[in-house]
Amino acid sequence: MNWFKSFFAFTILSLSTCVGVVAAVPADTTFQIVESVPEATSYGQPGVPRTGKVWLDMVRGAKRSIDIAAFYITNKPGEALAPVIKALAARARAGVKVRILIGRTFFRESRKSIEPLKGIANLEIRILPVDSLTGGVLHAKYFIVDDSSVFVGSPNWDWRALSQIHEIGVRINNRRFARTFEAVFDFNWHLAGHPDLPRAERVAVRPPDFAPVTEGNPVILHDEYGSVAVAFPAFSPPSLSPRWVDTEQPALVSLIESARHTMRIQVMTLSALIYYGPKGYWPAIDNALRDVAARGVKVEIIVANWALRWPMQNYLKSLAVLPNITVKFSSLPPAPQGFIPYARVEHCKYAIADSSRAYIGTGNWGWSYFNNTIDASVFFSGKGPVSTLIKIFDRDWNGPYVSTLKPGVHYRPPRNH
The Cα–Cα gap between 358 and 348 comes to: 13
Q: Categorize the per-residue pLDDT at 27 as very low, low, confident or very high, splitting at 50, 70 and 90.
A: low
**Confidence check: pLDDT of 201 > 70:** yes
List, for residues 330-341, the tens digit of each pLDDT value: 999 999 999 999
Mean pLDDT of all residues in 143-168? 98
Residue type, 11: T
Question: What was the pLDDT predicted at 182?
Answer: 98
List, for residues 353-409, the tens digit of each pLDDT value: 999 999 999 999 999 999 999 999 999 999 999 999 999 999 999 999 999 999 999
Contact 30, 220 (CB under 8 A): no
* Nearest in space to 264 (alpha carbons), one of 399, 357, 154: 357
Q: Categorize the per-residue pLDDT at 223 as very low, low, confident or very high, splitting at 50, 70 and 90.
A: confident
196's CB contacts (< 8 A; 6+ apart) are: none
Percent of the chain with pLDDT over 90: 89
The Cα–Cα gap between 261 and 107 comes to: 43
Q: Categorize the per-residue pLDDT at 224 as very low, low, confident or very high, splitting at 50, 70 and 90.
A: confident
Q: Categorize the per-residue pLDDT at 21 as very low, low, confident or very high, splitting at 50, 70 and 90.
A: very low
Mean pLDDT of all residues in 244-256? 98
The Cα–Cα gap between 106 and 71 comes to: 7
**Confidence check: pLDDT of 63 > 70:** yes
**Confidence check: pLDDT of 70 > 90:** yes
Mean pLDDT of all residues in 161-179? 98
* Nearest in space to 228 (alpha carbons), one of 26, 66, 417, 416: 26
List, for residues 142-152, the tens digit of each pLDDT value: 999 999 999 99
**Residue 226 Cα to chain centre, angstroms:** 23
Question: What was the pLDDT predicted at 18?
Answer: 30
Mean pLDDT of all residues belonging to the chain: 93
* Nearest in space to 36 (alpha carbons), one of 173, 144, 180, 141: 141
**Residue 318 Cα to chain centre, angstroms:** 26
Distances (CA, A) of 353 to 25, 216, 367: 25, 19, 21
**Confidence check: pLDDT of 23 > 90:** no
Give the DSSP per-residue string, 193-240: HS--HHHHHHHHTSPPSS----SSS-EEEE-TTS-EEEEEEEEE-GGG
Mean pLDDT of all residues in 124-139? 97
Residues labelled catalytic: 139, 141, 146, 347
Percent of the chain with pLDDT over 70: 93
Contact 358, 351 (CB under 8 A): yes
Question: What was the pLDDT predicted at 2?
Answer: 56
Question: What was the pLDDT predicted at 12?
Answer: 33
Mean pLDDT of all residues in 21-49? 83
Residue type, 342: Y
**Residue 199 Cα to chain centre, angstroms:** 28
Question: What was the pLDDT predicted at 225?
Answer: 79
The Cα–Cα gap between 211 and 180 comes to: 9
Neighbour-count burial of 277, counting CB atoms closer than 10 A to its CB (0-12 exposed, 13-18 middle, 19+ buried): middle
> Which domains does the chain carry?
3-404 (3.30.870.10)
List, for residues 285-324, the tens digit of each pLDDT value: 999 999 999 999 999 999 999 999 999 999 999 999 999 9
The Cα–Cα gap between 168 and 389 comes to: 9
